[in-house]
Structure 1
Amino acid sequence: MIIKKGIDKIINKNTARFFMPGHNGDKSIPLRYDITEIKEADNLRCPSGMIRLAQKNASLAFGSLHTFFLVNGSSSGLFALIMSLCKRGDTLIIDRGCHISVLNTLVFHDIRPVFIYPAHNGGFGINSAVAPEDVERAFSENPEAKGVLITSPTYYGVCSDIRRIAEITHKNGGALIVDEAHGAHFAFSDMLPQSALMLGADGVVNSAHKTLPCITQGAFLHLGTSRIDPNTALENINLLMTTSPSYLIMMSLDRAATEMQKSGRARLEKVIKKCIDLKKAVNETGRYKCLENEDITRLVVHAGYNTASVFDELDMRYNIKAEMCDGLNLVFIAKAMTKARDLARLKSALLSIAKRLPALKEGNYPPPPKTVLKMPPSLAYYGKTKTVPPTEAVGQVAARAVYKTPPCMGIISPGEVITEEIARLLTEDVTIAVP
């Protein structure tokens, strides 16, 4: 049992967990609940019993018209929503800061993307919000578009103006899909942004496992209006879903919705207050800068070019594991299940490390290079290709996506031209497939 032994080494060290999944190591789901679709157990593909009731309960918790359990993660939900809204060859306006699963759907379902770029936060070197004006402009130039797909919140907890974007989308006869994978907890706190469902989104995915007490791969697909047909959505979920859905994941999704209804607000309020206190203390050191994002529980700590060393010291010396280090920023995910003592440990460790750091110098980091779509992604992907190193790919069209994970955002999409700037972003051992 090699994997079990490896994980045991992690969980037996009293690690402060500021990474996914949202259950934070809770031990309440034993393996005896791992069953299959026997008669009494209902069937996720066409639920009529306990699964149907659990999905209705989740729908009430999130305020949707319809909620579906996903056992293949939010990626499958984004696939299903896009396929439910668009036919092959249709046009969709897409936030270019989208998840790789969206780029994969463009290939799989032959969608013609119109990419719009989010604003850039130069002080942290990350994407910011999508401007409603850019959505308006995209519709005026592409009136045939079936709708819009926006990522909000981003991996860094930044939210776009979903209410305004929904109004623009509906005015132009389209439907709004929101990848709210990192915002499942928004529905359970008045101290956080309103959920996309409450702001007018038509289809929403939530990665429950990211911030709620749910095991990995558990996600929700919500429909907020009748603009996306629920029967079509279920058909497309089934098209993409395993024929052996995990009852552990389903039970975990049910538990997440139920527990958050009962105690989620109180838990989140305590965590949010601790996060506010932590941010204030960290900013006052002059060695770090915390991102002022809409999701207070997504702690993004900027330490400039000292970030990697801080990340390593937190791990090796203090046994505190961040979700991610991108070279400039540390990302910590505080959840409803995060313990107060772990937030105190994180605060103490950051303040201690700060004493050995130089004063933080303000930076202005450039945005990622913009890309040009030269051919439909599906045509580039399924056409004749060759594999070359990045230096030989400059000026050619990418046949495969290249992305950084986390946060699984595409550097280049199939069909886009590979520029010198993009080639420089890729490591020397990367090869690229091109038509």
Structure 2
Amino acid sequence: MGELSQENAPIYEALENLRKMRVVPFDVPGHKRGRGNPELTRLLGEQCMNMDVNSMKPLDNLCHPVSVIKEAEELAAEAFGAAHAFLMVGGTTSSVQSMILSVAKRGEKIILPRNVHRSVIGAMVLCGAVPVYVNPQCSQRLGIPLGMSVEDVKRAIEENPDAKAVLVNNPTYYGICSDIRSIVKLAHEHGMYCLADEAHGTHFYFSDKLPVSAMEAGADMAAVSMHKSGGSLTQSSLLLTGPGISTGHVRQIINLTQTTSGSYLLMSSLDISRRNLALRGKETFEKVMELAEYARSEINEIPGFYAFSRELINGDSVFDFDVTKLSVHTLEVGLAGIEVYDLLRDEYDIQIEFGDFGNVLAYLSIGDRKRDIERLVSALSEISRRFGKEKVDLLEQEYIPPHVAVSPQEAFYAPKESLSLKECVGRICSEFVMCYPPGIPLLAPGEQVTQPIVEHIVYAKEKGCTLTGPEDEKIRYLNVLKGVEG
């Protein structure tokens, strides 16, 4: 890397040099630095449009980096303690899918929790890998899936010694962490890779007061959503690899699905954000933790709301907790999480990350301010007073253990028919059904449709959850395998 240090942002610096050169563009994109699309230029600004350029020699090429992108990746690897880092412009979905495709082929097994993001199962549809689920333990009070028990992972490994990898959420959407160090050790002792979905754990790399990061725990690969808590633009991500992974092989896998026209807006945002975190991340996330703890203490004074934290830690299925996650249980106030989510937006102009049946999540990161926290706390206090009622019998169980009948790939591509939800019970689903966010499937291709799952879907619709996945826009029908019972 020569003279480069974490003070540098090679891609951004190359773009600045290009801007000063006043190069006449006879290449794509066709808006030609914004001149061809004045309305879009007014919306995004001239500087943004000037930096929306194509790959060229001074700017390197994302498919085969040899200069500034390569330097940016090396700096990112150094900042995150990885052997290598890939800049990803297809979101962390692309990072997760590249991880899976790099280690597993058709018919090969991956051990994983069922509360994975749809991108994990989507990767299995693409490569034909077979999931072996470790059903996460659940908190009956909160109605949320927890982490994976080390003993459950050990049992799955012993029962499936031919599995290629173990995948861990580090953390879950709610901030819950499994014992990733022990799981990495187990996987490696049995000749398996350990992969981490770290979509919600970017900040773990920049504080010793937060749970351990995947790379520090010895994981082989980690997908990191820089755009979530790291400050880069939406859809930008990092794929980190450890020393035992072939960089060239992973690059080939990435290039199967990632665009050949990598956005320099996204790449420069990764470059600048990495620099910011490397130089100021520790103090920045210290402030985020302080804000979250302040918010929790205030919310826990409001009747009916419970902002949970490290008190959930039990040394196993909740091995650690990400205190930057402001997760709030709502059922004691007589409202489903999705109802609180809607009230905050519709009555108080506050947009939080998501609401499920019993909880809401306010996502705190480097851009939050104390006065915004105070506004949220005030709104929740008013909601408790204005809309709170006696706790009612709401559907609390968020996690329904699946019955996997066939592999995701086999189900996705099999002949299918469309049936009403009621008629689907007992049949094998060929598509996804999920509440989004968080994008964790209620049903995935290859799983049997059961009565509790149908009730779950109907209840989610009634409560106003945003359901996605099926071909039928109104989720009245599902595609199931034709002529096949579960």
Residues 1:319 and 1:28: Cα distance change in structure 2 (over 3 Å):
farther
For the residues of structure 2 that align with 1:133 and 1:308, how far apart are their CA atoms?
34
Which amino acid counterpart does residue 329 of structure 1 have in structure 2? Answer: N
SS in 2 for 1:332: strand
Equivalent position to 1:205, from 212, 219, 223: 223
Please state how far the C-alpha of 1:366 moved relative to its aligned partner.
2.6
Please state how far the C-alpha of 1:432 moved relative to its aligned partner.
1.3
- Does residue 298 in structure 1 map to residue 325 in structure 2? yes
- Residues 49-88 of structure 1 mapped to structure 2, 5 A cutoff: 49-88=67-106
Return the TM-score normalized by structure 1.
0.89
- Does residue 37 in structure 1 map to residue 55 in structure 2? yes
SS in 2 for 1:148: strand
For the residues of structure 2 that align with 1:239 and 1:329, how far apart are their CA atoms?
38
Point out the more displaced range, 310-319 or 295-304: 310-319
Structure 1 unaligned residues grouped into runs of 5+: 9-24
For the residues of structure 1 that align with 2:147 and 2:294, how far apart are their CA atoms?
25
Give the equivalent residue in structure 1 for 2:478. 432
Which amino acid counterpart does residue 332 of structure 1 have in structure 2? Answer: A
Please state how far the C-alpha of 1:345 moved relative to its aligned partner.
2.1
For the residues of structure 2 that align with 1:397 and 1:29, how far apart are their CA atoms?
51
Give the equivalent residue in structure 2 for 1:390. 421
Equivalent position to 2:279, from 246, 255, 262: 262
Residues 1:359 and 1:313: Cα distance change in structure 2 (over 3 Å):
closer
For the residues of structure 1 that align with 2:86 and 2:328, how far apart are their CA atoms?
35
Structure 2 unaligned residues grouped into runs of 5+: 1-36, 311-320, 459-473, 482-486
Equivalent position to 1:329, from 359, 362, 365: 359
Q: State percent identity of aligned pairs.
A: 34
Please state how far the C-alpha of 1:123 moved relative to its aligned partner.
1.6
For the residues of structure 2 that align with 1:376 and 1:51, how far apart are their CA atoms?
37
Please state how far the C-alpha of 1:389 moved relative to its aligned partner.
1.2
Residues 1:315 and 1:423: Cα distance change in structure 2 (over 3 Å):
closer
For the residues of structure 2 that align with 1:55 and 1:46, how far apart are their CA atoms?
12
Give the equivalent residue in structure 1 for 2:401. 370
Which amino acid counterpart does residue 152 of structure 2 have in structure 1? Answer: D
Equivalent position to 1:156, from 174, 181, 185: 174
- Residues 278-293 of structure 1 mapped to structure 2, 5 A cutoff: 278-292=295-309
Equivalent position to 1:220, from 233, 238, 248: 238
For the residues of structure 1 that align with 2:429 and 2:303, how far apart are their CA atoms?
43
Q: Is the 8 A contact 1:300 1:329 kept in 2?
A: yes
Equivalent position to 1:241, from 251, 258, 270: 258
SS in 2 for 1:153: coil
1:356-387 per-position Cα deviation (integer Å, ceiling 9, x unaligned):
46588598933522111112222222121111
Q: Is the 8 A contact 1:285 1:351 kept in 2?
A: yes
Larger Rg: 2
1:296-346 per-position Cα deviation (integer Å, ceiling 9, x unaligned):
111011121324454344324432211112132111011012123212322
Q: Is the 8 A contact 2:358 2:396 kept in 1?
A: no
Give the equivalent residue in structure 2 for 1:413. 444
Equivalent position to 2:152, from 113, 134, 137: 134
Which amino acid counterpart does residue 336 of structure 1 have in structure 2? Answer: I
Size of the alignment, in residue pairs?
A: 413
SS in 2 for 1:397: strand
Please state how far the C-alpha of 1:352 moved relative to its aligned partner.
4.1
Residues 1:315 and 1:30: Cα distance change in structure 2 (over 3 Å):
same
Q: Is the 8 A contact 1:288 1:360 kept in 2?
A: no
Q: Is the 8 A contact 1:94 1:114 kept in 2?
A: yes
Give the equivalent residue in structure 1 for 2:6. none
For the residues of structure 2 that align with 1:241 and 1:424, how far apart are their CA atoms?
38
SS in 1 for 2:63: coil
Q: CA RMSD in A?
A: 2.3
Point out the more displaced range, 262-271 or 359-368: 359-368
SS in 1 for 2:429: coil
Q: Is the 8 A contact 1:271 1:334 kept in 2?
A: yes
Q: Is the 8 A contact 1:208 1:220 kept in 2?
A: yes
Which amino acid counterpart does residue 143 of structure 2 have in structure 1? Answer: G
- Does residue 89 in structure 1 map to residue 119 in structure 2? no
Residues 1:224 and 1:138: Cα distance change in structure 2 (over 3 Å):
same
- Residues 117-196 of structure 1 mapped to structure 2, 5 A cutoff: 117-196=135-214
For the residues of structure 2 that align with 1:37 and 1:429, how far apart are their CA atoms?
42
Give the equivalent residue in structure 1 for 2:376. 346
- Does residue 400 in structure 1 map to residue 431 in structure 2? yes
For the residues of structure 1 that align with 2:391 and 2:47, how far apart are their CA atoms?
47
For the residues of structure 1 that align with 2:282 and 2:375, how far apart are their CA atoms?
23
Q: Is the 8 A contact 1:286 1:360 kept in 2?
A: no
1:250-303 per-position Cα deviation (integer Å, ceiling 9, x unaligned):
000011110011122212111211211210121122321012251111101112
Higher relative contact order (CA 8 A, sep 6+): 1
Which amino acid counterpart does residue 145 of structure 1 have in structure 2? Answer: A
Residues 1:372 and 1:314: Cα distance change in structure 2 (over 3 Å):
closer
Point out the more displaced range, 318-327 or 163-172: 318-327
Q: Is the 8 A contact 1:287 1:357 kept in 2?
A: no
Q: Is the 8 A contact 2:357 2:398 kept in 1?
A: no
Residues 1:28 and 1:310: Cα distance change in structure 2 (over 3 Å):
farther
Which amino acid counterpart does residue 419 of structure 1 have in structure 2? Answer: T
For the residues of structure 2 that align with 1:316 and 1:106, how far apart are their CA atoms?
38
Return the TM-score normalized by structure 2.
0.80
- Does residue 422 in structure 1 map to residue 446 in structure 2? no
Please state how far the C-alpha of 1:161 moved relative to its aligned partner.
0.7
Give the equivalent residue in structure 2 for 1:314. 344
For the residues of structure 2 that align with 1:358 and 1:266, how far apart are their CA atoms?
38
Point out the more displaced range, 214-223 or 378-387: 378-387
SS in 2 for 1:154: coil
